[in-house]
Amino acid sequence: MKEIGHFVGGKNVAGSSGRFGDVFDPNTGEVQAKVALATAKELDHAVQVAKKAQLGWAEKNPQVRARVMMKFVELLNRDKDNLAAMLSSEHGKTIPDAHGDIQRGLEVVEFAIGIPHLLKGEFSVGAGPNIDMYSLRQPLGVVAGITPFNFPAMIPMWKFAPALACGNSYILKPSERDPSVPMRLAELLIEAGLPEGVLNVVNGGKEVVDAILTHPDIQAIGFVGSTPIAEYVYTTGTAHGKRVQAFGGAKNHMIIMPDADMDQAVNALVGAGYGSAGERCMAISVAVPVGKQTADALIEKLIPRVESLRIGPSSDKDADFGPLVTRQHRDKVKDYVDIGIQEGASLLVDGRDFSMQGYENGFFMGGCLFDNVTRDMRIYKEEIFGPVLSVVRAHDYEDAVSLPNDHEYGNGVAIFTRDGDAARDFSTRINVGMVGINVPIPVPLAYHTFGGWKRSGFGDLNQHGPDSIRFYTKTKTVTSRWPSGIKDSAEFVIPTMG
């Protein structure tokens, strides 16, 4: 049985706790590897290694750090097929979807290559009599990331690429459900020229998470996961003096206006709702048709599309989606479908009993489609994180807008319409962090910032884009005056620029 340890000081090291977690093959239900679960002591060792390595890394000029990122991109492109196969085998997403996971992470690494420009400060010549002022952006020191199972390549790269480019060292605690890709990314960074100890991967569970949140030498923490844990990470980390960005759950709505191209809307819903088995924080899980005629037309087209979804093993490049990540999670999603029926929603397509010949023990589930879902139902209020789409019928545009505005989550939202006035009004008034107009999954590109509002995000700064540079640096402002401009007597009033 393969054992996965940790990556500390530039090499793979075995765990010393004696505790391991199971890494499943979601296609077969079999355990394919054991991952070591670190102790707080092992975490502290990694932090001390990172702390020592950070000093030399921060002293390297930004161009040198950028060249490491450039080489890393080259290696990612070289190994992307192997990385995608590795990712797919542990997560269960299809190979094409795994390629997308890697590509969207790679794009943030490409953004980080611009770090010499991104770190430039401000300069004011003659801010006062013989006085110049300028600002510097300097690294924080040792920073950490706690990343989820659903994007084992993308989200670690979203976190560590800008952090490393800014001159920090990094502790990555990936999901113990699919740890092989994060470990391989660390190896590739060493091959790209990153000094040993600058990036360390420590696998583990709650003990390691708590150790990260309270460790005095960790200056900042990035997290992605469920909202209850995001809130816990944010409150605990900030209580210990750390800078924290913590992103949680979502309930993403897609409003379909009466003038929308219905075929386009249905294609968008099927892909955004059921891709990756719905295990995406930006998945559309609520369709909101405006008016009865729109709703009836949508349902008529959706039912056969959901019924004909092609579900297969993650190695099947033609499958629409593969298995869910674990049996426990698959059963939790099925329980939500049961709850929806009990609450009175109309289950139009039932994928709970889906089974695949030859993969009977895999964590598969077919697509489910609910109609007549209402605001008070748990399947509307709570994140399901599976292949379940709920249709909530809106009486009119104002009713439709109120649904995402009133929901506790505010991650992503979309509107499908041909009306520019409606789209502009919607994008202005909606109380959600990321908005799509005829785009179902509005994930911003790497040079813009990604982040949800309300209980989808905790903290003031978002992921990637300019916010990532602000998050992983601190600003120092220098006021300088040279001897020729210095008065020969003491000043006892507050300095001014007059």
State residue 486's pLDDT score.
Answer: 61
- Buried residues in 212-246 as b, exposed as e (16+ CB within 10 A): bbebeebbbbbbbbebebbebbbebbbeeebbbbb
Give 135's contacts (C-beta < 8 A, 6+ positions apart): 121, 122, 123, 475, 476, 477, 478
State residue 419's pLDDT score.
Answer: 96
Active-site annotation, residues: 281
Query: 80 — phi, psi (to 5°)?
Result: -60, -35
**pLDDT tens for each residue of 441-481:** 999 999 999 999 999 999 999 999 999 999 999 999 999 98
State residue 1's pLDDT score.
Answer: 85
Paired with 333 in beta bridges are none
Domain ranges of the chain: 2-248+456-478, 252-437
259, 233, 261, 265: which is closest to 246 by C-alpha? 233
State residue 7's pLDDT score.
Answer: 98
Radius of gyration of the chain, Cα coordinates, nearest whole angstrom: 25
State residue 498's pLDDT score.
Answer: 58
Helices 40-59 and 206-214 cross at an angle (nearest 10°) of 50
Outline where 92-226 has alpha helix (H). 95-112, 115-118, 154-165, 180-191, 206-214
Query: 474 — phi, psi (to 5°)?
Result: -120, 145
Helices 95-112 and 62-91 cross at an angle (nearest 10°) of 170
The list of the chain residues with pLDDT below 70 reads: 485-488, 495-498
Q: Does domain 2-248+456-478 have CATH number 3.30.70.1710?
A: no
State residue 130's pLDDT score.
Answer: 85
Paired with 192 in beta bridges are none
Give the pair of three-digit tokens for residue 308. Answer: 């004909």
State residue 80's pLDDT score.
Answer: 98
Instruction: Output DSSP code: residue 446.
Output: T
**pLDDT tens for each residue of 153-187:** 999 999 999 999 999 999 999 999 999 999 999 99
What are the distances in angstroms from CA 418 to CA 108, 192, 415?
32, 47, 10
CATH architecture of 252-437: 3-Layer(aba) Sandwich (3.40)
State residue 374's pLDDT score.
Answer: 98
